[in-house]
A = this chain, B = another copy of it.
Amino acid sequence: MMTPTTTVPATVTAFDLVSGLSAQRPTLRRRLSAMAAMYADVEAARAQVERDDVLVYEFYDMGVPETSGDVAYGTSITYPGKVGDEYHMTKGHFHSVLDTGEIYFCLRGTGYMLMENPEGDWQAAEFGPGQAVYVPRRYAHRSINTSATEPLVTFFAFPGHAGHDYGTIETRGFRKLCVERDGEPVFVDNPKWAG
């Protein structure tokens, strides 16, 4: 094997295709206590935190330069569970640069990508193994795991300069919730939505 000559080595990271995790890097971890107020049934959330402050999701920030020529990427793992009748979900966010999209490629599990834009449109796309969901520009996005047993594992990629606006969703919420009714996931109005 010849010795490569390079000034800018490619970043190579080994992810486990089943767990979604890499032993090479730490994840950013979001336990229920960090997002209890986001669930409709805040009392159920607080009670669950008292019993066990469960890990709701974790994901990678690979430290890609924040330029429009770069692509930020990583995996995101949302663990199964419910808070009251509401399925485990990520915090969700807009991009600071609203006119940026994002691709999510599902490696494992079942659930939805919930999306809404500032104009009031909303939509949800189903996740299943091999399903690619392209979130259009201007849409806030949140992953939701509707499986009772399996992690929802996705590989994501977005423009390096997109940035994150978590604050808008934190203060206002999403317009819709994903809850279990008769054993099935359905989307309902968010009673706490503060538009």
Contact surface of A with B, Cβ cutoff 8 Å: 1-2, 4-17, 62, 64, 67-71, 73, 97, 99-103, 105, 107, 113, 115, 117, 119-126, 128-139, 155, 157-162, 176, 186-189
- Name the B residues within 8 Å of A103 (CB-CB): 71, 73, 157
B69 close to A10 (CB less than 8 A): no
- Name the B residues within 8 Å of A188 (CB-CB): 2
Stoichiometry (number of copies)? 2
17 A-B contacts (beta carbon < 8 Å)? A2-B186, A2-B189, A8-B121, A9-B136, A10-B123, A10-B125, A10-B139, A13-B131, A16-B130, A17-B129, A69-B159, A70-B100, A70-B137, A71-B71, A71-B157, A157-B157, A159-B159
Interface contacts beyond A9-B123, A17-B130, A69-B101: sample of 6 additional A-B pairs, CB < 8 Å, sorted by A? A6-B121, A8-B137, A8-B138, A10-B133, A71-B71, A71-B158
